[in-house]
Chain A
Amino acid sequence: MVGPARSRTNGRHAGNRGPAGRRFEDRIRGVPRARHRLHAADLAIYGVLATVAAVTIYPFWNVIAVSVSSYSAYLENPLLVIPREPSIQAYRFVLAHPLIRSSYRNTVFVTVAGTAFRMILITLTAYPLARRGLRGKRVLVTLLVVTLMFNGGLIPNFLLVRKLGLYNTLLALFVPGALSAFHVILMKSFLETVPESLIEAATMDGAPEIVILARIIVPVATPIIATLSLFNAVSLWNSFFSAVVYIRDRGLWTMQLLLREIVVEQTTFLEDPTEFTAEYTPQNLKYGVIVVAMLPILFVYPFLQRYFVKGIVIGSVKG
């Protein structure tokens, strides 16, 4: 009689146990664990991680605290953690800037439309490459990988964008380079883990490829889609250099471009001071602009974080 092979250790292999002797299977099943005493090593690890976290969070916290404090409070203590002499002057300054609304609108448009556009391209490219039996697959993948290694450079890209009629349009900020070879490979790696039997079953039911992609593949690929969407959204939101190169009209400036102009405008030490006949923009007002620029990403990140963590390793898990 043939039956399932039994492990000689019956699952009690020493390598499956954690520091408290719990089996790996028990830990992931949420089986209550035995009390665990903190060792010196644990304390050291927690201490280091807490320090790193504090050092990482502090600059953000300082910017937020200063942005809601008065300039006098900032002068007394530039290293504020707790806001002093609360003031919304910074945010009034931000809202009063003539370019703030247009730049915000442009950035939101580029981020949303750009992410959607890129994800559609990435998915449509990765799906056929992930299917078995695609003729010429190796050639196509090679062509894709080559683009990872070579780039035309700034001037050829600029000339190409002009020739395509995209210069001085928001499309220039997300259409060139929309299909990232790296992201296609990540997506392809994930889609290769989708059981072929799922697709075969749908095919036998008469579903066309587009329906298979839309109703089966995309829902299954939600983690990788969410991850890559987040990567692209953050990248597009923070995009600065493309805007410098391809945008001419101020009405099409993005937030990062405006932010740079406001923050850098009056801070160049070696610039001839005679040029600055206006009042200096106090630091707390500049910090208000920084907070406004980073707020949307801060709000979106927590909702997509679970996908982000999962998606980081998703392309590397096989079988």
Chain B
Amino acid sequence: MKRLFALLIVAGALFVPAILGATGVSEETATTGRDTLSFLGSWPSTFEPEGNPVVEYIDEQTNIDFAFETPANLGERRQLVFASAEYPDMIQWHVSDLENRLLLDAVEDGIVLPVTEEVKAAENIQRYTNPLSWPALEITDDGEYYVIPANTIVRADGYFVRKDWLDNVGIELTGDHSVTLEEFTEILRRFTEEDPDGNGRDDTYGLTFGSRDGQLFLGIGWPFGVGRWAGLDWFRSVDGEAYPYMPLTYAKNHTNMIEALEYHRMIWEKGYIDPNWPTNTGRAAVDRLYSGVVGMSDQFGGHTYRHLYNIQQQNPDAEATYITGVTRGGPVEGPGFGSGLYMLHTVQTPGKEPVAVRWINWLLSDEGFELTWHGLEGLHFTRNTDGTRTYLPEYDEYAGWRTYLAKARRYNEPRFFMKANAGQAAIEQMTRWVHQCMENVVYSPDLGYRPPSASTQSLLDAKTELDVTISKIIVGRLPVDAWWDALENWYDAGGDAYLRDMNEYIARQE
């Protein structure tokens, strides 16, 4: 009996895993005459590559059999891939990974292969990559490119505005839809005080922003020259400071930051800004816009009609327009960060460099652009006799993952980011706005570089303290002059070293 029992235990230990186990991934098989490419990248949860007609179409056009790995968390998966030394042919990275030790070590160790010859010979990659991106791609001193670039459009986003509210309060946007700071403030005032929605209740605000973990930022900082995005420094050429290039945020001898803080505090105290601003994490700010509580929000111009569609679900009479820029006099200047790079791709398998580059090059071709914007004829749209398209209901589902499919985009083509079924008139209008926002950009000359001195703990803590000080000043818990003390602490904590290193880098680029 005991022996039988012991045998049963052993048998169970051997066979139960076999019965319960699930299958692993089938190995990719090479088809004669076709290349294969395994790719690790980010995809939405609704994307299914198996049996996907769009993927099959790309397979056919590029003569590549793809094996897409669709991880839940790309960053974690990359770490584990490099730990296990079982590399897919191609891996997707984010532009911030240019300073990621994982990538840099992989380049140094020869795991990531150079793609210089292939990239230089790729006509579409050369044509549609932002010229400013090329210096940023030189992550080693040997003159080789180790990453295939993928751009996004660089623009200084303006503000989505309820046009019906503007009409109700007697304001019209003209020209290129830029406004002066005074005009912008007047719009905020009328949206807050003059019942723009006509419901007889005092229940509206001019503007909303999102917040990051409760921290407020200077969403209207750019007319003052101090940028707007939390955590990103807009280096400008300045006189009378310790260094020739400085973000005016850190300027000791200029009052731009003080003026910006005073302005934000004023509109907060007057109630022109959504009081939920500190708690608008995630997409809560967008919800406030859709609910009709606020009339403006800082949004990408190419999504104007998408936001309008959602607002019209609550209020069918809503209309939309866009403010492309705010100025205190002179041309509109908005911050442009980085070099236009958004994604990077590396190749780990010898012999796959031409295949990977061929795929990316095809995505940037006219055919690839048409596919990633419009979809497949017959599945996502039908062609009319006059050459125009009629979009099918399946296009909306495709819109959920087509930007993920486009692992490279044209740096100067904003239409890609608009839903193709928004209508020709809407697309033309949004394109004008976005082009204006692109022209308003004044690039930060660092092109996204961050020196090691930017990552010291003391400086990071001091930066957090600056952000907290901004928040407290805006809501009135600290006087505006408190900024100078916080700035001094930032300098003492390593800010000076950071500015010095950045200026040395900028000088080298020049």
Interface string of A172-193 (1 = CB under 8 A from B): 0001000000000000000000
A287 at the interface (CB under 8 A from B): no
A42 at the interface (CB under 8 A from B): no
Interface size class on chain B is 35 or more
Interface string of B300-318 (1 = CB under 8 A from A): 1011001001100110000
CB neighbours (8 Å) of B212 from chain A are: 269-270
In whole angstroms, how far apart are the Cα atoms of A283 and B69 in the complex? 29
| Residues from 295 to 341 in B contacting A, C-beta threshold 8 Å | 299-300, 302-303, 306, 309-310, 313-314
Contact B283 A280 (CB under 8 A): yes
**Which among A113, A159, A279 is the interface contact of B310 at CB below 8 angstroms?**
A279
In whole angstroms, how far apart are the Cα atoms of A280 and B157 in the complex? 19
Contact B401 A278 (CB under 8 A): yes
Contact B5 A269 (CB under 8 A): no
In whole angstroms, how far apart are the Cα atoms of A277 and B79 in the complex? 29
CB neighbours (8 Å) of B76 from chain A are: 244-245
B403 at the interface (CB under 8 A from A): yes
Looking at A78, A265, A278, the one whose CB has the most chain B CB atoms below 10 A away is: A278
Known: A113-B20, A274-B152. Is A158-B286 also a contact (CB below 8 A)?
no
Contact A250 B48 (CB under 8 A): yes
| Residues from 264 to 317 in B contacting A, C-beta threshold 8 Å | 281-283, 285-287, 290-292, 299-300, 302-303, 306, 309-310, 313-314
CB neighbours (8 Å) of A76 from chain B are: 291
In whole angstroms, how far apart are the Cα atoms of A243 and B76 in the complex? 11
Contact A99 B71 (CB under 8 A): no
Query: What 20 new A-B contacts, CB under 8 Å, besides A98-B46, A158-B83, A274-B300?
Result: A97-B46, A98-B48, A169-B22, A169-B24, A171-B21, A208-B1, A244-B71, A244-B73, A248-B25, A261-B44, A269-B285, A273-B157, A277-B402, A278-B396, A278-B399, A278-B401, A279-B309, A279-B310, A279-B396, A280-B286
Which residues of B does A touch, CB under 8 Å? 1-2, 5, 17, 20-25, 44-46, 48, 69-73, 76-77, 79-80, 83-84, 152-153, 157, 210-212, 229-230, 281-283, 285-287, 290-292, 299-300, 302-303, 306, 309-310, 313-314, 342, 396, 399-403, 417-419
| Residues from 235 to 272 in A contacting B, C-beta threshold 8 Å | 243-245, 247-250, 252-253, 257-258, 260-262, 265-270, 272
Contact B72 A260 (CB under 8 A): yes
In whole angstroms, how far apart are the Cα atoms of A78 and B290 in the complex? 13
Known: A248-B25, A248-B69. Is A265-B44 also a contact (CB below 8 A)?
yes
In whole angstroms, how far apart are the Cα atoms of A175 and B48 in the complex? 28
| Residues from 81 to 138 in A contacting B, C-beta threshold 8 Å | 97-99, 113
B105 CB, nearest partner CB in chain A, Å: 15
In whole angstroms, how far apart are the Cα atoms of A54 and B287 in the complex? 26
Closest to A113 in B: B20
A307 at the interface (CB under 8 A from B): no
